[in-house]
Structure 1
Amino acid sequence: MQKVILFKTRRFGDSRGWFAETYNLARFAEAGVTEAFVQDNHSCSRPVGTLRGIHFQTPPHAQAKLVRCIRGRILDVAVDLRRGSPTYGRWVSAELSAENGDQLFVPVGFGHAFLTLEPDTEVVYKVTSLYAPSHDGGIRWSDPDIAVDWPLPATGPALSDKDAVLPLLKNFDSPFDYDGTPLTLETA
């Protein structure tokens, strides 16, 4: 079952600060996440309004992601790209921040993107397949058929050259199959 899940992080604090468990195999399995993570990634985005995505990897190197913000704040977005899904092209989002410690699980079959809401934002994420450049894909962040409601700064987004010219959803032949679970944002 492919579900986008927002994991609420429990923090235990005292006068020194706090402690949090960011990954627990049993807790994640109880929520339906049984994938094995094989690579960790870390990005730093200097300007507010840095937009990364909408990214994915195609089979056989498709990736599920577990995303968290360790400095600053982001709007994290998952887009349903599973052919035959009644929620194809729809999106859900969550604000992830260093302060709230929340994490978003984005399963295989979903595009992933985020927009930084504070300067010098750092994002870390685990993935279930190693990076495979020949299977790297994406959909344009501004696709009108997806219509993500990005809270952009007046200057617009800071984009990579690649992200600025990604194809539109209408030109995408999805390799991802619908598994019977429509897009929802669950909390665990």
Structure 2
Amino acid sequence: MSCLPPVGLTLLRTPRLGDARGWFMETYSEIWAEAAGVRVRFVQDNQSFSAAEGTIRGLHYQRPPHPQAKLVRCVRGSIMDYAVDVRRGSPTYGRHVAVRLTADGGEQLFVPVGFAHGFITLEPDVEVAYKVSDVYAPDCDGGLVWNDPQIGIDWPLPPSGAVLSDRDRALPALADFHSPFEYDGRPMELLPPL
């Protein structure tokens, strides 16, 4: 019997080279990504802007035949980023991990296929950029409601409350979700930063 490694929810940090002008960093390299366990081909880059603090985007996934793994980073401001295990049969089904991503820190979170993903902005005027492993396919787009008590995310809401799209407010709860993702035998584990 072979022991599979934990599923690759991976927090990545790449060095910044600074001088009097500012800094430079390599945001993605197939070589260091593969060395960190990120072994997917990215085919599309996306970027979002959120004007208000407390903006929630998620919890989203894209089902087969166009499932998406994501490499997420905050390019302006800061977010709390969440990944929820939605792999049928997983011992951690419905559980989540949370990581703070900041433009100043340059952290990136790799979210594999089989996880719903979402984030909340921790300040105004936040931009998030992410790579995905398959193209956007509207017929495969799906999600779970952000405040599902079964998932139990403790969102750091500002006093003004959450800012959500009408679509995200109407997403189903985990109890009403029939996952298209199967557990592959790899447990969910957030790997330590590099």
Normalised to the residue count of structure 2, the TM-score between the two structures is 0.95
SS at match of 1:61: coil
Match of 1:115 in 2: 120
In the TM superposition, 1:76-87 aligns within 5 A as: 76-87=81-92
> Quick check: 1:9–1:100 contact (8 Å CA) kept in 2?
no
Normalised to the residue count of structure 1, the TM-score between the two structures is 0.98
Aligned residue pairs total: 188
In the TM superposition, 1:62-101 aligns within 5 A as: 62-101=67-106
Match of 1:182 in 2: 187
Which ranges in structure 1 are unaligned for 5 or more consecutive residues? Answer: none
Q: Distance in 2 between matches of 1:185 and 1:155?
A: 31
Runs of 4+ in 1 over 6 A off after TM superposition: none
Match of 1:153 in 2: 158
Q: Distance in 2 between matches of 1:9 and 1:165?
A: 37
Which among 28, 33, 40 is matched to residue 28 of structure 1?
33
SS at match of 1:9: coil
State the Cα distance separating 1:9 from its structure 2 match. Answer: 2.2
Q: Distance in 1 between matches of 2:34 and 2:64?
A: 23
Q: Distance in 2 between matches of 1:51 and 1:127?
A: 19
Deviation larger for 26-35 or 92-101? 26-35
**Counterpart check, 1:171 vs 2:173:** no
Q: Distance in 1 between matches of 2:39 and 2:8?
A: 12
